[in-house]
């Protein structure tokens, strides 16, 4: 019985946090996010462990619509290290923390005796779960689609970050 009460209370808190989120998606609000990336699904069986870090920031230009700049760095053991810089737009669905984004990124890949520069389309889908009035945990799924040689350099991934709305 006690376990059921905790479960119901947790569900109620998540429900209330969802309705509280809408005020943070208003025009003029600034946004910053730091995330762990590179929890990727890759086509290469030769890649070892990897670690990535991303930083995103921008402003809501209209209610529920933000324009963001993004930087990502990734180290891949036995693979290609990645650095990317891009711009993206996000739409936050009203009254909840679900968002969808689409961007364009310049990506530089480097490895032992290898260098490659790419332009990628970067769709993403995520959820901003509010821990407080201005702080979120944001899990998201993204797909970096290389506009050149897509089958070799496109990457599906998962990231989790902490967002700040001010």
For the chain, what is the domain count?
1
Kindly provide the b/e burial profile for residues 13-34, where b requires at least 16 CB atoms within 10 angstroms of the residue's own CB.
Answer: eeeebbeebbebbeeeeebebe
Q: Which of 23-37, 38-52, 65-79 has the lowest mean pLDDT?
A: 38-52
Q: What does the angle CA 118 – CA 157 – CA 81 come to, to the nearest 5 degrees? A: 45
pLDDT value at position 44?
52
Domain extent at residue 151: 2-165
| DSSP E strand boundaries for the chain | 30-37, 50-62, 65-76, 81-92, 98-111, 114-121, 124-127, 129-130, 135-146, 155-165
Tens-place pLDDT, residues 85-122: 999 999 999 878 899 999 999 999 998 888 999 999 99
CA 22 to chain centre: 19
Give the CATH number, domain containing residue 40: 2.40.160.20
Q: Which of 44-48, 71-75, 161-165 has the lowest mean pLDDT?
A: 44-48
Instruction: Give the confidence band of 17 by pLDDT, cuts at 50, 70, 90.
Output: very low
pLDDT value at position 12?
44
Read off the pLDDT of each residue in 28-49 and give the average, rounded to a whole number: 73
Average pLDDT, the chain: 83
pTM of the model: 0.77
- Token pair 């600034």: residue: 30
Considering only residues 60 and 97, tell me which one the structure prediction assigns the higher pLDDT: 60
Report the percentage of the chain scoring pLDDT > 90.
54
């Amino acid at each position: 019985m006690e376990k059921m009460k905790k479960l119901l209370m947790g569900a109620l808190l998540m429900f209330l946090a969802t309705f509280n989120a809408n005020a943070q998606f208003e025009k003029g609000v600034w946004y910053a996010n730091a995330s762990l990336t590179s929890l990727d699904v890759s086509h290469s069986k030769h890649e070892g462990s990897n670690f990535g870090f991303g930083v995103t920031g921008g402003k809501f230009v209209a209610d529920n619509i933000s324009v963001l700049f993004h930087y990502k760095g990734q180290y891949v053991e036995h693979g290609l290290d990645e650095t990317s810089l891009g711009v993206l737009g996000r739409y936050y669905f009203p009254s909840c923390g679900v968002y969808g984004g689409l961007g364009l990124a310049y990506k530089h890949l480097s490895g032992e005796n290898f260098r490659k520069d790419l332009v990628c389309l970067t769709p993403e889908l995520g959820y901003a779960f509010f821990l407080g009035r201005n702080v979120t945990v944001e899990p998201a799924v993204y797909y970096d689609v290389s506009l050149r040689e897509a089958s070799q350099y496109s990457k599906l991934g998962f990231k989790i970050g902490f967002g700040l709305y001010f």
